[in-house]
A and B are shown apart, each in its own frame.
Chain A
Amino acid sequence: MVPVVVQVLQSLVVLLLSPLYVSVLARAEAIVGSKRGPSVLQPYRDLAKLLRKGSAVSDQASWVFRGAPFVAFACYLTVSAIVPVITNDPLPLACLADLIGGAFVLALAGFVTSLAGLDTASPEGGLGASRASWIGSMAEPALILVFFTVGVVSASDNPYLMNHAIAHSPYALVLPTHVLGLVAFFMIVLVENGRIPIDNPAGSIEISMIEEGRVLEYSGRGYALMKLFLLSTILMSVFVIPWGLGTSNDLMSALVAIPVLAGKLALAGAAIVVLDTSFAKLRFFRIAEFLGAAFLLALVGVATSYVIGA
């Protein structure tokens, strides 16, 4: 019974905290830039408003457009179940997929979002879908290689087992393989979440938008689900910090892990805020160089593992 409760609690934590995290990041960036910024509760108000509103669907749209938010949201719930966020004791659903399977599930979500963007034949949707696919075609190989670097260190491809291996051996954390993989992963997180070197999270400017373009046609409830899906991906990336997770399968340790999670999020957020405020957005076709560098670092990480024999 308790593992099931923890499983549900984990998904709920991801679901409820992700809008807050994004808004706290936006607020912190505004403060660094000597502005006040919106309230940290703004995303919740937006979501509540969207859920109350009806949605307008183009009469050209097919079932693909209407179904896509639900598929994308389901994919996101699945990933929140298989990634260790508040406990590193394998949860009942942990056997669903390993990390590569999780990447596939997220890729499926991206795929249906792109289909929905193309479905209404609006120019913005097609533009967003084309850009997102172009970036995805370079981000995915790099992401898989990053999983290889962590897999080499921990001799496993299950996120829970990886977590165990790294949390129990502090040396593994500073191994060259792991450090290179971590830097590459951070670069990919920036890409997948449209942070500053890639895309400007502060506003959606038509000419440069990537993720927002695909969901531009949505309104009301469908948009709320899509929005939540976009907001969530950044929060789940924090599972690479292995400490502070509940170790046993009881409810108490899982509850204690939630404030620790907030601390870890703050740590990762600080790095993102510094990057966001000190760099300029890259020209679109230079994103290939950025992702090429991420791929290269992960590749060097895997190569290193052969030399140090681990």
Chain B
Amino acid sequence: MSQVEQLSATSAAGVLLDLSGVLILLAAFACLGSKLLNRYVAYYGAQSVVLSFAAAVAAVTFHSVELWILAGLTLALKGIGIPLATRRLLVQRLELKRDVAMSTGLSTALIAGGALTAFAYLVTRPQLLPHGLVANAVVPLSTAVILLGGLAMVVRRHTVAQLIGWLIVENGVFLGAITLVATFPFIVEAGIFLDIVAGVLIMLAFVSGITRQLAEASSTELRELRG
């Protein structure tokens, strides 16, 4: 019973951040394990919505207006904008519903994801964490999300799916950043955020152009374009 008492001593914000971290990890796993492209995008959207909630919690905890702005931006752009744009581009215009093109099997990808998560826990031992952190579990969780996003980029063949893998990496970085370094200069964080989002949107437009010409966006086929 002493463990339970110790748990209730944690702050409410820490518990909420830990919980959002877990949900974000679950969404990353769901992305990794879903074969249909529209579901993959929907899980990414759900992950971003949870992330914006986490940012709002951090904003309340650290009394920071900038984090509120970032939470709003995350919700609007990553939670709603990118999933909608991708859906419109892929599912409606290109009539692409499936992405079965994976370079490994689904179970291999999931097992690799589990191994990466275990690795994230191994490298972020509780003893090594700085004292006075709001949410301890977020550190390994965000590391795991970064690794899982990287894994999604590796195992997916479709270029748009790889782009969203990159966005999952970015979500992991953002989650770690709002918990660990709340004093991070706002302008840097927002700059990086907008850079990545703008980059992804440009690449989405670019890929859609290529796809219309080649009717194919698998990275194995795109290699043919080399000069």
Contacts and interface: CB of A to CB of B under 8 A. Distances in A.
Contact of B21 (A165, A176, A286, A292): A176
Nearest to A300: B117
B193 interface: no
Interface string A268-310: 0000000000000000001011001100110110011011111
Given A172-B4, A304-B137, A310-B6, A179 B107 contact: no
Interface in B155-200: none
A172 B19 CA distance: 11
Contacts of B110: 289, 292-293, 296
Looking at chain A's contact residues, is the secondary structure mostly helix, strand, loop, or mixed? helix
Interface residues of B, number: 38
B22 A180 contact: yes
A63 interface: no
A169 B107 contact: no
Contacts of A297: 26, 29
A308 B107 contact: no
Interface in B15-32: 15-16, 18-19, 21-23, 25-26, 29
Contacts of A171: 7-8, 10, 15
A303 B118 contact: yes
Nearest to B114: A296
A102 to B, nearest CB: 22
Interface string A240-279: 0000000000000000000000000000000000000000
A174 B29 contact: no
A23 interface: no
B141 interface: yes
A41 B59 CA distance: 52
Given A169-B8, A297-B29, A174 B15 contact: yes
Contact of A307 (B7, B10, B121): B121
A154 B6 CA distance: 12
Looking at chain B's contact residues, is the secondary structure mostly helix, strand, loop, or mixed? helix
Contacts of A4: none
Contacts, number: 99
A159 to B, nearest CB: 16
Contacts of A303: 117-118, 121
Contacts of B26: 180, 183, 297
Nearest to A306: B126
A155 interface: yes
Interface in B98-114: 106-107, 110-111, 113-114
A176 B141 contact: yes
Contact of B137 (A153, A288, A308): A308
A179 B137 CA distance: 13
Most chain B beta-carbon contacts within 10 A, residue among A154, A288, A289, A306: A289
Contacts of B214: none
Interface string B24-56: 011001000100000000000000000000000
Contact of B126 (A180, A293, A309): A309
B10 A176 contact: no
Interface of A: 153-155, 165, 168-172, 174-176, 179-180, 183, 286, 288-289, 292-293, 296-297, 299-300, 303-304, 306-310
Interface of B: 1-8, 10, 15-16, 18-19, 21-23, 25-26, 29, 33, 106-107, 110-111, 113-114, 117-118, 121, 124-126, 136-137, 139-141, 144
* 9 shortest interchain CB distances as A-B pairs: A176-B22, A296-B114, A308-B137, A303-B121, A174-B19, A169-B4, A289-B107, A176-B137, A308-B136
9 contacts: A165-B4, A170-B8, A175-B7, A175-B19, A296-B114, A300-B118, A303-B117, A307-B140, A310-B6
